[in-house]
Chains A and B, each alone.
Chain A
């Protein structure tokens, strides 16, 4: 829990609408009005639509899953990628035992695994997702980041193993992390991973915000950080190059910084001037 005032994940309805849109293969904007519905109802609607789309073909998915169990991992992976569209592969994956799913995952290309992961229902396939080796998760995450599928990554994060979560974070650029931050549910685990980010990554985040003028992205991240991480960011901001600080100061003068960013900048400038914190 962030004492820095981490806001409740107010985007939960948007997340649920995003999941439904992905299932239907449409843009979330086409589901205008649904975000006003209760989360529980949106989850139920997702389940009903999923059943309508795939329920009648369950015996086929079960048959493919059974065949997959009997083939060597490399052969099954190649056949899946060649003949099974990722959305169908996801239905099959949900029926596999986690070790078999993990053995298959490492045989798939990052792009295919990424598409498959987007089509998974994280609530129904948590065991399977948890079993995927961190290296494969990192590669798939990179593919998803390249396509700016931040909402999809955010949906999968709660189901990832700790090691896989770290691998996904390591695969992310500073821009990716800034885009992802407001979409995550900031639980203890996320705070823990962020607390372990090395100084170089914090410096890179500050640099990305300053270089690209991502002031609102930076503000959204700062509002979610624990005080200890905020303190580290202040230290890093005090220590980074004058160019970065200069950009923050210029943004402040132009009224572009939010309150958390202003507070961080003020404290960093005090540290730079040698004044007590």
Chain B
């Protein structure tokens, strides 16, 4: 049966975690999803701020470093 935690974290999720009550597993999956969304948003914001805010001579190097 598909499990949201293994969908998110891969097949190595420990058996003891998968044995948690379904509502706890769902809650954990939801916290992981929220954390990923937050990190992605933070990364996008930091990238944008860096590309706009670093001194001009460094902007190319920063763009390259960020792969942006």
A-to-B contact residues, CB < 8 Å: 23-26, 30-34, 37-38, 40-41, 44-45, 48-49, 51-54, 57, 59-60, 63-64, 66-67, 70-71, 79, 82-85, 87-88
Contact = CB atoms under 8 A, between A and B. Distances in A.
B9 interface: yes
Nearest to A83: B50
* B: interface residue count bin: 35 or more
A41 B35 CA distance: 20
A181 to B, nearest CB: 30
Contact of A53 (B39, B53, B65): B39
Given A37-B16, A59-B67, A79-B54, A48 B35 contact: no
Given A40-B14, A79-B62, 11 more contacts: A23-B35, A26-B35, A34-B28, A44-B14, A51-B9, A51-B10, A52-B9, A60-B43, A63-B64, A63-B65, A88-B42
The secondary structure that dominates the B interface is helix
A87 B39 contact: yes
A54 B65 CA distance: 16
Contacts, number: 95
Given A38-B16, A48-B13, A63-B66, A32 B43 contact: no
Given A41-B14, A67-B62, A84 B38 contact: no
What are the 9 A-B residue pairs with the smallest beta carbon separation, nearest first? Answer: A41-B14, A63-B65, A67-B65, A83-B50, A48-B9, A24-B35, A41-B16, A37-B16, A53-B39
A40 B10 CA distance: 17
Q: Is the interface of A mostly helix, strand, loop or mixed?
A: helix
A88 B44 CA distance: 12
A127 to B, nearest CB: 23
B14 A37 contact: yes
Given A49-B32, A53-B35, A32 B13 contact: no
B40 to A, nearest CB: 8
B35 A64 contact: no
Contacts of A63: 64-67
A204 B47 CA distance: 48
Given A60-B43, A83-B49, A70 B61 contact: yes
